[in-house]
Amino acid sequence: MGIMSNTVSICHFRVQGELANVTEFYHEAPFLLSKQAFHPIDDTADELSLGWVHLDDPKAHDFADASTCWRDHYLIFSFRRDQRKVPPALLKEHLEKAEAQFLADNPGYTRVPKLKKEELKEQVRLKLLAKSLPAPSVYDVVWDTEKNVVTFTTLSAKTVELFEDLFKKTFKGLRLTASHPYERAMGCLDSNWQRELAKANRAGGDSYLELIQENQWIGRDFLSWLLYQTLNGDSEYRVNQGADHGAQFIGYVNDKVVLVGEGEGGTQMVTVNGPQERFREVKSAMLDRKQINEATIHLETQDGSWCLTLKGGLFHFASFACPAVKLEKDDTTDERLEREAVFFERMALLEKGLQLFDSLFCTFLQVRLGSGWTFAEVEISDWLEAA
C-alpha cells in the first residue's frame, strides 16, 4: 500500500551529502527524476524495467512540470518495478517437453547432455517470458528536504537495495543511510543523554551493519520494557517534542508479539497473535530465554489512535495505521488542490504518529541509560518469574 493509504509499511533514510541550493534543487530535481524515469516494457521482450513515476499516478513518468513532484518542502515520487516472471511449475512442464523433443530428434542420446539441457532451459524461459505480461510493483517515496529524511513504503530488503542504488544514480553526490535503532535513539535524545548512549554503544566503529548488530539490545530491551509497562506500569506518557510538547498519550503492546531465541535445532521463532490479557505465552517464551524481536504497539490520544508493528532489529514500521484523513469538499473543489490537501493531512497524521512513537522511545531510553535500569531489570525479572 502507498503513503496515502491509512495503513502502510515504511522505513526511513537519512540523505548524506551536500544538497544543492534549495532554489536550484527545486528546478533540478524534476529533470533528474526524468533522466531515470520508468519506461514500460509491455510491448517489448524485456524482462525487467525500473524507474521513477508520479506518486499520484504510477502510469505517468514525465516530470517536466515541477508540481508533479513537489509539495512545499516535500519531494514526492514513486519507485516502479515491472518484471516478467515464469512460474517454476510452468517452466518445468515446458522444459520436459523440449527435452523429450530433443531425444526424439536425436535417437543416439539416452538423456539430454548437461550443456544442452541448460541451453534448452534458457530457450524455454525466454519463450515463455515473451508471452507473459510484466507484473508492476510501485513503492512511494517522500523526501522531507527540511529534515533530510526519506520515507520509503516497503520493508523488502531486495526492493530497498534497488531503490538505494537508483537514488544514488539519480542524485549524484547524495546517498541514503538507513535509519536503525541506534541512529533513531541519537535523534530522540538531547546532548546529555546522547553522551550516555554513546557510552552504552557496543559497536567498535561507525559501520552501519556493526551499529545494528552490536546494539540489538536497544530494540529488545525497549520491547521488553514496554510489555512490562503495559501490564504493570502506567501506560500514560508525555510528548517530548514539537507543538504538542507536554501533551499526554497512551502507549501499549497488544495483538502481536514475535520472539526469537536459540534452541536445540538452531534459531527458533515464537509468534503470539490476537488480543492479549496477561501475555502468558509471551512470558513463557521469555523465561525460555527468547527475546522479543517484534511487537504491535498502540498509541492513543484524545484526537485519535495509531497502531504499528515495530521490527525491533531495524526499527522498521510494518502495518502503520493512522486515523483516516477527513476533509470537507464540495462540487467546486479543485481536484489538484484536493489531492494536495489530502497529502498534507496524511503527512501530518503520519508524522504525529512517529512523534508519539519517538516520545515513547525516548522515555524508555532515559530509563535504560539512567541509574534506575538495574532496578527496572529486577522488576521485570521478578514479574516473569511470578505465576
- Rounded-to-integer distance, Cα 142 and Cα 119, Å: 44
- Rounded-to-integer distance, Cα 311 and Cα 177, Å: 18
Q: How far apart, in Å, are the Cα atoms of 227 and each of 15, 138, 301?
A: 33, 35, 19
Give me the pLDDT at residue 85, please. Answer: 87
Task: Answer whether 129's CB lies under 8 Å from 45's CB.
Answer: yes
Query: Per-residue pLDDT for 90 more than 90?
Result: no
Q: What is the mean pLDDT of the chain?
A: 90
**Least reliable range by pLDDT among 7-16, 185-194, 239-248, 336-345:** 239-248
Nearest alpha-carbon partner for 145 in 47, 73, 202: 73
Percent of the chain's residues with pLDDT above 90? 62
- Rounded-to-integer distance, Cα 263 and Cα 290, Å: 9
Radius of gyration in angstroms for the set of CA atoms belonging to the chain, rounded to a whole number: 25
Give me the pLDDT at residue 387, please. Answer: 56
Nearest alpha-carbon partner for 69 in 161, 19, 61: 61
Residues 6+ away with beta carbon under 8 Å from 274: 255, 256
Most confidently predicted of 43-47, 128-132, 284-288, 343-347? 343-347
155 or 241: which carries more pLDDT confidence? 155
pLDDT interval class at 328 (50, 70, 90): low
pLDDT in tens, 269-293: 888 887 766 688 898 889 888 999 9
- C-alpha angle 166-149-30 in degrees, rounded to nearest 5: 50
Q: What is the mean pLDDT of residues 160-176?
A: 95
Give me the pLDDT at residue 234, please. Answer: 77
Query: Per-residue pLDDT for 113 more than 60?
Result: yes
Give me the pLDDT at residue 147, please. Answer: 92
Give me the pLDDT at residue 297, please. Answer: 97
- The 3-state DSSP class for residue 200 equals helix
Task: Answer whether 89's CB lies under 8 Å from 67's CB.
Answer: no
Nearest alpha-carbon partner for 201 in 192, 190, 212: 212
Query: Per-residue pLDDT for 99 more than 90?
Result: no
Give me the pLDDT at residue 124, please. Answer: 85
- Rounded-to-integer distance, Cα 176 and Cα 165, Å: 9
Beta bridge partners of 301: 304
Q: How far apart, in Å, are the Cα atoms of 351 and each of 62, 225, 324, 375?
A: 29, 24, 14, 34
Q: What is the mean pLDDT of residues 7-33?
A: 90
Give me the pLDDT at residue 176, please. Answer: 94
Residues 6+ away with beta carbon under 8 Å from 343: 4, 71, 74, 76
Phi and psi of 344, rounded to 5°? -65, -35
Give me the pLDDT at residue 182, please. Answer: 96
Query: Per-residue pLDDT for 331 more than 80?
Result: no
- Rounded-to-integer distance, Cα 316 and Cα 354, Å: 12
Q: What is the mean pLDDT of residues 291-305?
A: 95
Query: Cell numbers 497488544 correspond to what residue?
Result: 254
Give me the pLDDT at residue 47, please. Answer: 85
Give me the pLDDT at residue 239, please. Answer: 92
Q: How far apart, in Å, are the Cα atoms of 218 and each of 197, 211, 293?
A: 10, 11, 11
Query: Cell numbers 548524506 correspond to what residue?
Result: 16
- Rounded-to-integer distance, Cα 275 and Cα 191, Å: 39
